[in-house]
């Protein structure tokens, strides 16, 4: 089951879990093995987006571990880590903070400070403190976790790369992009030492480095990192979809910045195709490349092609509850696309863009929309 899950054949993994559960029942359901089965099933459920169910499996496994070994025994620490990660994914940050703090205390007592398990809890605890914007409290935990991994792990261990990546996110969230880029460069160096390489981790790290180089104004370097990420992803029999999709979508953004609109449009369309094949046509991630492709359509005089893309992107954003994200700009683009053919609808979309921008505090879109309405002697919404 574990091997199948790692290959992202999740439904097959859950089927094997049912077979294993039945087999264990026939031999009396030994608790230690049942706990590991529950934890493995929890991992698969979380990977398929069923995080609430996965958390329940982890908690059931944890209850067995506590009964068998006690609260702080090393044997049950992995499940504590999984529980905290699931709570974080569910945005239950107060619960996750408590879980990771307890895990760090248990690990320090059980195996000492210079151990990979303790380092993992230190990084996770730092991560949840950063999520709560308690950056000064978080930094020592990131530093301790990274220092421990550097001291006890081999130079090509993916856990060392993961520590650098986590530190990079921490720095990026505070606008410290140069420091973030140093950690991402270190992570890429670690992953490049792997034989065979861990393609999924390398792709996601290269995508993150692409983003930091772009923010630092290094556009050509950003392109190189995202291009390498796409190349590595597409060399895999089953590319990990998030990294593959994101690398292509960011290449589109960079191509547009470099003054290559048709190349950018083709990359946006490729990202849409990747996303549809991976997640189906209704996933909210598709809204961004749809909007990007439509924007280029409008600029290149293809307003009719832009309209269905923009309407679909708006539907996806509304379904996802992101009304104050890109939705105001989405409506403004619809106004521009419909201005000549359906002026009444265009006015409606422009006024909707202004209202949503006003409600969401999006000053840029509000200013652009107000200018568009004034150019046509149309009133602002009351």
Q: What is the pLDDT, as a whole number, of residue 44?
A: 85
Q: What is the pLDDT, as a whole number, of residue 34?
A: 84
- The Cα angle at residue 310 between residues 219 and 324, in degrees rounded to 5: 80
> Residue 164 and residue 82: Cα distance in Å, rounded?
20
**Residue ranges for the chain with pLDDT beneath 50:** 1-7
Q: What is the pLDDT, as a whole number, of residue 196?
A: 84
Q: What is the pLDDT, as a whole number, of residue 47?
A: 85
Q: What is the pLDDT, as a whole number, of residue 76?
A: 92
Residue extents of the structural domains in the chain: 153-234+242-271, 305-382
DSSP symbols for 242-310: HHHHHHHHHHHHHHHHTT-HHHHHHHHHHHHHHHHHHH-TT-GGGHHHHHHHHHHHHHTT-HHHHHHHH
Owner of token pair 């699931």: 86
Q: What is the pLDDT, as a whole number, of residue 45?
A: 87
Q: What is the pLDDT, as a whole number, of residue 172?
A: 96
CA dihedral over 145, 118, 141, 131, signed as positive or negative: positive
Return the CATH fold of 153-234+242-271.
Answer: 1.25.40
Q: What is the pLDDT, as a whole number, of residue 5?
A: 41
DSSP symbols for 170-225: HHHTTT-HHHHHHHHHHHHHHHHT-SS--HHHHHHHHHHHHHHHHHTT-HHHHHHH
């Amino acid at each position: 089951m574990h091997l199948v899950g790692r290959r992202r054949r999740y439904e097959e993994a859950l089927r094997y879990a049912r077979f294993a559960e039945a087999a264990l029942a026939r031999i009396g359901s030994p608790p230690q093995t049942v706990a590991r089965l529950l934890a493995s099933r929890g991992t698969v459920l979380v990977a398929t987006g069923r995080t609430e169910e996965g958390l329940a499996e982890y908690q059931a496994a944890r209850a067995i571990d506590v009964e068998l070994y006690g609260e702080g025994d090393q044997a049950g620490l992995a499940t504590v880590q999984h529980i905290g990660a699931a709570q974080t994914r569910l945005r239950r940050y107060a619960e996750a903070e408590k879980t990771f703090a307890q895990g760090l205390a248990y690990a320090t007592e059980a195996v000492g400070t210079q151990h990979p398990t303790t380092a993992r809890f230190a990084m996770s605890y730092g991560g949840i403190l950063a999520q709560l914007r308690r950056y000064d409290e978080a930094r020592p935990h990131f530093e301790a976790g990274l220092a421990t991994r550097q001291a006890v792990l081999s130079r090509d261990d993916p856990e060392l790369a993961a520590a650098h990546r986590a530190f990079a996110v921490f720095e990026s969230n505070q606008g410290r992009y140069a420091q973030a880029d140093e950690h991402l460069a270190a992570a890429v160096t670690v992953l490049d030492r792997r034989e065979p390489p861990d393609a999924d981790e390398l792709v996601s790290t290269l995508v993150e480095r692409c983003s930091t180089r772009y923010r630092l104004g290094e556009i050509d370097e950003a392109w190189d990192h995202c291009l390498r990420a796409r190349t590595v992803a597409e060399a895999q029999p089953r590319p990990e979809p998030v990294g593959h999709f994101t690398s292509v979508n960011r290449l589109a953004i960079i191509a547009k910045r470099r003054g290559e609109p048709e190349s950018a449009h083709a990359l946006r369309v490729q990202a849409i195709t990747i996303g549809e094949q991976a997640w189906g046509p209704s996933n909210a991630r598709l809204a961004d490349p749809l909007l990007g492709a439509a924007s280029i359509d409008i600029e290149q005089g293809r307003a009719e092609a832009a309209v269905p893309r923009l309407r679909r992107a708006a539907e996806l954003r509304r379904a996802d509850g992101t009304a104050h994200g890109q939705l105001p700009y989405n409506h403004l683009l619809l106004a521009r696309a419909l201005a000549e053919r359906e002026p009444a609808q265009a006015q409606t979309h422009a006024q909707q863009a202004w209202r949503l921008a006003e409600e969401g505090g999006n000053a840029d879109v509000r200013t652009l929309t107000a200018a568009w309405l004034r150019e046509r002697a149309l009133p602002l919404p009351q």
